[in-house]
């Protein structure tokens, strides 16, 4: 019935203050109030309706997205939600909260602006950022090519300096050098930060960033020498097809020399290449920035799926009825809890590790300003590793939440198929997850190899300083509740990570060619990197379900024995019983509106069945009793079969 809270009985079980937890989840009271205000504004604005997307064709879907993005920007300005332009996140965050589907604004604010902020000189920032902040130009991040994405050093687009005209000539020498994938590129962006090989006087100086105008600001037509378009439909129906991921080729396009982003390296008027003594990898700074954002995004995506699956698991009853009584809530099945509650914990864990990573990123950015590069490797390893870990776990977690909802989880009206389809490319974009874990593995192996030189490991590898102790470590857990002691859990995770890293380093040392060894042992190295990244999350938050999931590692590395493993599992079951009465309250604390969740199964009031039934009839297929095509194709078939049967 309308207006009845079918989950009130669950909410009454909560053993903590949900309103306080809402503040914890949001980060602060003002963040809570801002996000609460925006989400209610969006939910009440008909422009941002979401229930029609599944039935739209690609062009209508895209046009609808442009309409939403334009309206969102207007609302951000009208409501004066746009804080100091230099504070980037609020703009991107606010717009994404309004539009809530992939749109060109994600890349304008999420990559184009940060690239100029991070790699542009002060003069370049003064020229380009005000245009971008006021959206007088719309930008994208054009790095990936048809032939290269992971291997940035393999990019083929060229930027050749012409001293006669003081320009760079941007060119796509091969088909595989076509820019391919950049979001917002296909139909909307007027400008791009283009990553190309800097060529001066025949010498190749590697990949650098260049600001290139792509389209006229008058008629939006591509400028001379520019061929540009959309790369076509992507995974899922609506999903990422609201975004114009594009293809772009250059035919000797000229740009002024001052459009090379020159904070890290410069080219003088005379064509001299100047590379201040900073790591060349600073040119990758935008990717590092986005990877740390993606970790926070993972907690949002996973929490949406967990909210839907938790509320529905409390509503759904199946089996267990005695003498005609109520059947059992599926959330009471231990199997449902063992699949759902670790994801509930993960959503919170990723939220908090995302906060920590933002601190780390902010710290390294401040240090870079002072030319202190000491924590750059740590920042790269942590952003790469946690981006990989959290996106893999979130993509798998959203799919698990679909399965936790049974058949109804497969309906678009559950919100889960679209959430999955929009989310899964996060395992690929901003760095393929395996490629990034191999970067972490390089960092770990290098750390282990430097221990013998007296090099003191710092930051998240500091535990390696206790290698001797960790290699002797064996857990002294005697009873299940011993696993509730944070230091007991932490030591087990440290020992496992240390032993897996050392085992890889020792095996690598058997190869005369280290690179060959690295390739041969890549799968083991990835597992060691995962163990290290899980330790980072654990040292910031949660653990036992991970320990249970990776019990093989813990036992094979000798950190714990099977008995201790079963005690951990026993403690896990105890914890599930403690989570159970708080489960619905824990997902209420995310403070998601029904509009934002876009899910009948995840409705706040739990009024699922009447709404599922009501929604079904809205499907266009139900516009007619007899479906189009029946009379042309099926009726003749039936009649023919009937005639055949009478013969």
Ligand X SMILES: CCCCCCCC(=O)SCCNC(=O)CCNC(=O)[C@H](O)C(C)(C)COP(=O)(O)OP(=O)(O)OC[C@H]1O[C@@H](n2cnc3c(N)ncnc32)[C@H](O)[C@@H]1OP(=O)(O)O
Contacting range for ligand X; rule: CB under 6 A; set: 26-34, 353-361, 373-381, 408-416: 373-381
Q: Which is nearer to ligand X, 391 or 607 (CB)?
A: 391
Take residue 438 and report the two structure tokens written for it: 């191999």
Rounded least distance, CB 183 to ligand X, Å: 6
Q: Find the shortest distance in angstroms from Cβ 102 to ligand X.
A: 8
Q: Select 28 or 151, whichever has its Cβ closest to ligand X.
A: 151
What residues numbered 92-111 form the site for ligand X, per CB under 6 A?
106, 110
Residue 434 binds what, of ligand FAD, ligand X, none (CB under 5 to 8 Å, by partner type)?
ligand FAD
**Binding partner of 290, given ligand X, ligand FAD, none, CB within 5-8 angstroms per partner class:** ligand X
Stretch that binds ligand X, among 30-38, 66-74, 140-148, 477-485 (CB under 6 A): 140-148
Integer-rounded Cα Rg, in Å, for the chain is: 27
Identity of the residue, 176 or 258, whose beta carbon is nearer to ligand FAD in the bound complex: 176
The span from the CA of 318 to the CA of 320, in Å, is 7
Q: Which residue has the tokens 């053993």?
A: 15
Task: Name, in order, each residue with C-beta under 8 angstroms of 31's C-beta and a sequence gap of 6 or more.
Answer: none
Which of ligand FAD, ligand X, none binds 357 (CB below 5-8 Å, type-dependent)? none
Please state, as a whole number, how many other Cβ atoms lie within 10 Å of the Cβ of residue 549.
Answer: 11
| Using rule CB under 6 A, residue 430 touches ligand X | yes
Shortest approach of ligand X to residue 626 CB, angstroms? 44
The item of ligand FAD, ligand X, none sharing an interface with residue 287, based on CB under 5 to 8 Å by kind, is ligand X
Q: Nearer Cβ to ligand FAD, position 338 or 428? A: 428
Nearer to ligand FAD, 245 or 564 (CB): 245
Name the β-bridge partners of 160: 169, 199
One residue of 446, 550, 595, 611 binding ligand X per CB under 6 A: 446
Judge residue 59's burial from the number of C-beta atoms within 10 Å of its C-beta, 0-12 exposed, 13-18 middle, 19 or more buried: exposed
Q: Which does 240 bind (CB under 5 to 8 A by kind): ligand FAD, ligand X, none?
A: ligand FAD
Place of tokens 């019983």: 577
Q: Of 430, 491, 515, 570, which one is the catalytic site residue?
A: 430
Q: Rule CB under 6 A: is residue 290 a binding residue for ligand X?
A: yes
183 marked ligand binding residue = yes
Q: Which of residues 240-259 bind ligand X (CB under 6 A)?
A: none
The values of phi and psi at residue 139, to 5°, are -120, 165
CA distance 83 to 133: 11
The sign of the torsion formed by the CA atoms of 233, 236, 240, 243 equals positive
Residue 284 binds ligand X, judged by CB under 6 A: yes
The CA-based angle 644-646-647, given to 5 degrees, is 65
| Residues 6 or more apart in contact with residue 34 via CB below 8 angstroms | 81
151 is an interface residue for ligand X by CB under 6 A: yes
Structure tokens at 577: 């019983």
Residue corresponding to tokens 């283009």: 194
| SS3 category, 341 | helix
Select the binding partner of residue 245 from ligand FAD, ligand X, none (C-beta < 5 to 8 A, by kind): ligand FAD
Which residues fall within 8 angstroms of residue 255, CB to CB, at 6 or more apart?
Answer: 167, 168, 170, 210, 211, 212, 213
Q: Do residues 353 and 536 lie in contact, with contact meaning Cβ atoms separated by under 8 Å?
A: yes
Between 242 and 414, whose beta carbon lies closer to ligand FAD?
242
Token representation of residue 158: 């060229």
Residue nearest to ligand FAD (CB): 149
Report the nearest approach of ligand FAD to the CB of residue 237 (Å): 15
Q: What does the H/E/C string look like for 26-62?
A: HCCHHHHHHHHHHHHHHHCCHHHCCCCHHHCCHHHHH
Task: Please choose which of ligand FAD, ligand X, none residue 110 contacts, taking the beta carbon within 5 to 8 angstroms, the exact cut-off set by kind.
Answer: ligand X
Q: Among ligand FAD, ligand X, none, what does residue 153 contact (CB within 5–8 Å per kind)?
A: ligand X
Binding segment (CB under 6 A) for ligand X, from list 82-90, 165-173, 326-334, 441-449: 441-449
- 78 belongs to the catalytic site: no
Q: How far is the CB of 534 from ligand X (least distance, A)?
A: 20
Binding residues among 596-635 for ligand X as defined by CB under 6 A = none
Q: Report the run of H or E that residue 170 belongs to, with start and end.
A: strand 167-171
Question: CA distances (Å), 387 to each of 92, 106, 302, 354, 400, in order?
Answer: 19, 18, 14, 10, 20
Of 35, 64, 117, 144, the one binding ligand X (CB under 6 A) is 144
Cα angle for residues 130, 45, 420 (degrees, 5° grid): 80
> Are 391 and 429 in contact, with CB atoms under 8 Å apart?
no
Q: Which tokens is 364 given?
A: 């390294």
Q: Is 406 annotated as a binding residue?
A: no
Q: Which does 442 bind (CB under 5 to 8 A by kind): ligand X, ligand FAD, none?
A: ligand X
**How many residues line the site for ligand X (CB under 6 A)?**
27
Closer residue to ligand FAD, CB minimum distance, 235 or 609: 235
Q: Select from 209, 431, 517, 606 the one that contacts ligand X (CB under 6 A).
A: 431
Residues that bind ligand FAD (CB under 6 A): 107, 141-144, 149-150, 181-183, 240, 245, 425, 428-429, 431-432, 434-435, 438, 522
Strands 158-162 and 167-171: antiparallel
> Cβ atoms within 10 A of the Cβ of 317, count?
14
Quick one: 125 or 143, whose CB is closer to ligand FAD?
143
Of 189 and 607, nearer to ligand X (C-beta) is: 189
Tell me how far, at minimum, the Cβ of 402 lies from ligand X, in Å: 22
Tokens of 584: 């619905």
Inter-CA distances, 236 with 68, 198, 320, 421, 502, Å: 20, 38, 37, 5, 42
Among residue numbers 170 through 229, which ones bind ligand X (CB under 6 A)? 183
Could you tell me the smallest distance in angstroms from the CB atom of residue 182 to ligand FAD? 4
Question: Which CB atom, from 140 or from 531, has the smaller least distance to ligand FAD?
Answer: 140
Is residue 409 part of the contact set for ligand X (CB under 6 A)?
Answer: no
Task: In angstroms, give the least distance from the CB of 584 to ligand X.
Answer: 29
Distance between terminal CA atoms of the chain? 55
- In sequence order, the β-bridge partners of residue 256 are 167
Compute the CA torsion angle 380, 381, 383, 386 (nearest 10 deg): 170
Binding residues: 144, 183
Binding residues for FAD: 144, 183
List contacts with ligand X (CB under 6 A).
106, 110, 141, 143-144, 149-153, 183, 281, 284, 287-288, 290, 376-377, 380, 429-431, 435, 439, 442-443, 446
State the catalytic residues. 430
């Amino acid at each position: 019935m309308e207006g009845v809270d079918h989950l009130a009985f669950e909410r009454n079980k909560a053993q903590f203050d949900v309103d306080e937890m809402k503040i914890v989840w949001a980060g602060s009271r003002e963040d809570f109030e801002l996000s609460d205000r925006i989400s209610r504004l969006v939910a009440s604005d008909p422009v941002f309706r979401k229930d029609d997307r599944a039935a739209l064709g690609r062009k209508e879907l895209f046009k609808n997205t442009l309409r939403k993005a334009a309206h969102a920007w207007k609302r951000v300005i009208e409501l004066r939600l746009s804080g100091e332009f230099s504070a980037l996140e609020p703009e991107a965050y606010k717009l994404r909260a309004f539009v809530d589907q992939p749109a060109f604004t994600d890349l304008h604010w999420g990559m184009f602006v940060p690239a100029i902020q991070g790699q542009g000189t002060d003069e370049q920032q003064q020229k380009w950022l005000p245009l971008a902040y006021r959206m007088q130009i719309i930008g994208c991040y054009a790095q990936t090519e048809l032939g290269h994405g992971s291997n940035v050093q393999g990019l083929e687009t060229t930027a050749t300096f012409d001293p006669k005209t003081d320009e760079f000539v941007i060119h796509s020498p091969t088909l595989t050098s076509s820019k391919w994938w950049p979001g917002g590129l296909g139909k909307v962006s007027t400008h791009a930060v283009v990553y190309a090989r800097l060529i001066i006087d025949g010498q190749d100086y590697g990949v650098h960033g260049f600001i290139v105008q792509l389209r006229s600001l008058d008629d939006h037509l591509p400028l001379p020498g520019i061929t540009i378009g959309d790369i076509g439909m992507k995974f899922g129906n609506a999903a990422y097809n609201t975004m114009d991921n594009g293809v772009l080729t250059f035919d000797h396009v000229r740009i002024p020399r001052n459009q090379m982003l020159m904070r890290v390296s410069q080219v003088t008027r005379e064509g001299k290449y100047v590379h201040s003594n900073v790591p060349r990898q600073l040119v990758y700074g935008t990717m590092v920035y986005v990877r740390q954002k993606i970790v926070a995004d993972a907690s949002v995506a996973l929490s949406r799926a967990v909210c839907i699956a938790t509320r529905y698991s409390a509503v759904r009853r199946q089996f267990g009825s005695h003498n005609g009584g109520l059947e059992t809530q599926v959330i009471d099945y231990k199997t449902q809890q063992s699949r759902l509650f670790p994801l509930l914990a993960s959503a919170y864990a990723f939220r908090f590790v995302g906060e920590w990573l933002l601190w780390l990123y902010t710290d390294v950015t401040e240090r870079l300003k002072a030319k202190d590069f000491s924590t750059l490797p740590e920042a790269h390893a942590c952003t790469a590793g946690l981006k990989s870990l959290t996106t893999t776990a979130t993509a798998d977690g959203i799919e698990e939440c679909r399965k936790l909802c049974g058949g109804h989880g497969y309906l678009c009206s559950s919100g889960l198929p679209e959430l999955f389809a929009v989310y899964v490319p996060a395992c690929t974009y901003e760095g393929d997850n395996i490629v990034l874990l191999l970067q972490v593995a390089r960092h770990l192996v290098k750390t282990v190899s430097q221990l013998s030189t007296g090099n003191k490991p710092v930051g998240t590898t500091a535990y390696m300083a206790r290698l001797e102790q960790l290699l002797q470590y064996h857990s002294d857990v005697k009873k299940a509740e011993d696993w509730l002691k944070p230091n007991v859990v932490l030591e087990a995770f440290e020992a496992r990570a240390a032993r897996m890293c050392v085992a890889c380093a020792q095996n690598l040392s058997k190869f005369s060619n280290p690179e060959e060894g690295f390739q041969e042992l890549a799968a083991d190295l990835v597992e060691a990197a995962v163990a290290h990244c899980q330790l980072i999350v654990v040292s910031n938050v949660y653990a036992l379900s991970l320990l249970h999931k990776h019990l093989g590692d813990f036992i094979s590395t000798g950190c714990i024995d099977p008995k201790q493993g079963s005690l951990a599992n026993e403690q896990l079951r105890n914890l599930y019983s403690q989570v159970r009465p708080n489960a619905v309250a824990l997902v209420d604390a995310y403070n998601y509106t029904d509009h934002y969740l876009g899910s009948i199964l995840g409705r706040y009031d739990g009024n699922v069945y009447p709404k599922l039934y009501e929604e079904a009839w809205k499907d266009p297929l139900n516009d007619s009793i007899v479906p189009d095509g029946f009379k042309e194709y099926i009726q003749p078939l039936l009649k023919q079969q009937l005639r055949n049967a009478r013969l």
